[in-house]
Amino acid sequence: MDLELAWNQMSANIFKNLHELVKKSKDPISIMELAKDYRSLLKAASTILGCKDEIQSKMIVLIKQAHCLNKRVDDFHDKLHQNYNIPHFGVTESFKDYLKDLQEFMTIWKEETEKGRRKGEKSLIEWLQELDQSQRKITFEAMKNVVIDLGTNVSKIITDFLLLVVILGDRKHIIKNLDDFKAMIKLLSVEKNKDNSIVIKAFLGVIQLVETTMGKRKGLNGNRGEETEIAGKIELEIMRMILKEILRLEVALCCPDLVMVLTDEVYLSMGIHLRNFFGTKLNDVNMKMNALRMEVALLSFVQSHKDENEVEFVKETMAIEVQNIWNKLDL
């Protein structure tokens, strides 16, 4: 990826998050400090881009600084959404310890779910399943499409990310990561002492799809060599962001927080809101993935034309399979 383009994308991401924080945060001093650092980066970028000599080395340094600022903005943003603030995975932390942290974090949602059950509330999925399809078929089909589209969109982000990691990484290491990823996803179920929800089951099916694809396409790995520290951290950040979106969808669809069946107008309005909300969140994940692609470029990763064709074929094939997984959702 072109360094100037990578910088522009990252800069836009920082600006977008800062703009949202300005509207929501009650801590203007912290916002001003972040904004000041952002302006300094913009000024430095303007100077570097205006000078062709040594532009690449200087831009690499600047982009690393932007990574740090972006993380500070992301962390501050997370404080506004504590219930979705999934624990960070420390580079030196054992996976077993992380699972304990994640399990402890999920007690927030399991308690919310139990509270809703005691009140007799039901989840959006449950109320949709009770809709009289003879009289409200249009509403049911519209909301079913929302659920399928949201699940498919999140899943495509997952497969794109994992495919990129698979292409760059060591096969044994990646397979272990996929097993770890599945273990994390299972913990995101909001129900206590119950089987995985249909949402969690669908996402586990997506990870299984990646595993199956790897088994058939054994040439898609091992091209990166030694991983840089920044690239490794970015991968962990993206994985955490994806887990957050899986949790958001699980909560939106499976957490019992609705007292009664809704009117058609409310259902349709809710569908529009969910599409817009997840569209924004997934765009954030995609922009972070651009940062990972930029790291790939900095590592001088070069694919042959044949490799590129195979990657595109695998992406298209998995996209079709992902759609099939969500189309079969039992609503």
pLDDT digits (tens, 9 = 90+) for 209-229: 998 988 777 666 555 555 555
pLDDT at residue number 79? 47
What region does 225 belong to: left with phi over 0, alpha with psi -120 to 50, or beta?
left
Q: Is 44 exposed, middle or buried (0-12, 13-18, 19+ CB in 10 A)?
A: middle
Give the residue from 31, 53, 75 where a domain finishes: 53
Give the residue from 53, 68, 94 where a domain finishes: 53
pLDDT at residue number 31? 58
Q: Are residues 151 and 278 in the same domain?
A: yes
Q: Are residues 48 and 96 in the same domain?
A: no
Q: Are residues 38 and 138 in the same domain?
A: no
Whether the predicted pLDDT of 96 surpasses 50: yes
- Residue 63: inside a domain: no
pLDDT at residue number 5? 63
Q: Are residues 136 and 266 in the same domain?
A: yes
- Residue 70: inside a domain: no
With contact defined as beta carbons under 8 Å apart, do 275 and 1 qualify?
Answer: no
- Residue 67: inside a domain: no
Both tokens of 148, joined, read: 């399928």
Which residue do the tokens 């974090």 mark? 105
Q: Are residues 95 and 35 in the same domain?
A: no
Q: How many domains does the chain have?
A: 2
Q: Are residues 135 and 218 in the same domain?
A: yes
Q: How does residue 117 score in pLDDT terms, banded at 50, 70 and 90?
A: very high
Q: Are residues 49 and 91 in the same domain?
A: no
- Residue 61: inside a domain: no
Both tokens of 48, joined, read: 């570097």
- Residue 75: inside a domain: no
Q: How does residue 15 score in pLDDT terms, banded at 50, 70 and 90?
A: low
- Residue 162: inside a domain: yes
Distance CA 325, CA 198 (A): 11
Q: What is the pLDDT of residues 168-197, one digit of tens each?
A: 665 556 667 788 899 999 999 998 877 789
Distance CA 173, CA 225 (A): 13
Q: Are residues 34 and 170 in the same domain?
A: no
Q: Is 31 exposed, middle or buried (0-12, 13-18, 19+ CB in 10 A)?
A: middle
Whether the predicted pLDDT of 291 surpasses 50: yes
Q: Taking the CB of residue 162, how many other CB atoms lie within 10 A of it? A: 26
Q: What is the pLDDT of residues 244-275, one digit of tens each?
A: 999 999 999 999 988 877 788 888 888 998 99
Whether the predicted pLDDT of 23 surpasses 60: no
Q: What is the rounded average pLDDT for all residues in the chain?
A: 77
Q: Are residues 137 and 225 in the same domain?
A: yes
With contact defined as beta carbons under 8 Å apart, do 6 and 290 qualify?
Answer: yes
- Residue 282: inside a domain: yes
Q: Taking the CB of residue 285, how many other CB atoms lie within 10 A of it? A: 20
Q: Are residues 163 and 282 in the same domain?
A: yes
Q: Are residues 219 and 122 in the same domain?
A: yes
- Residue 62: inside a domain: no
Q: Taking the CB of residue 132, how many other CB atoms lie within 10 A of it? A: 10
Distance CA 300, CA 31 (A): 36
Give the single-character DSSP code of 252.
H
Range of the domain at 16: 3-53
Tally of CA atoms within 13 A in the half-sphere of 207 that contains its CB: 22
Q: Are residues 114 and 208 in the same domain?
A: yes
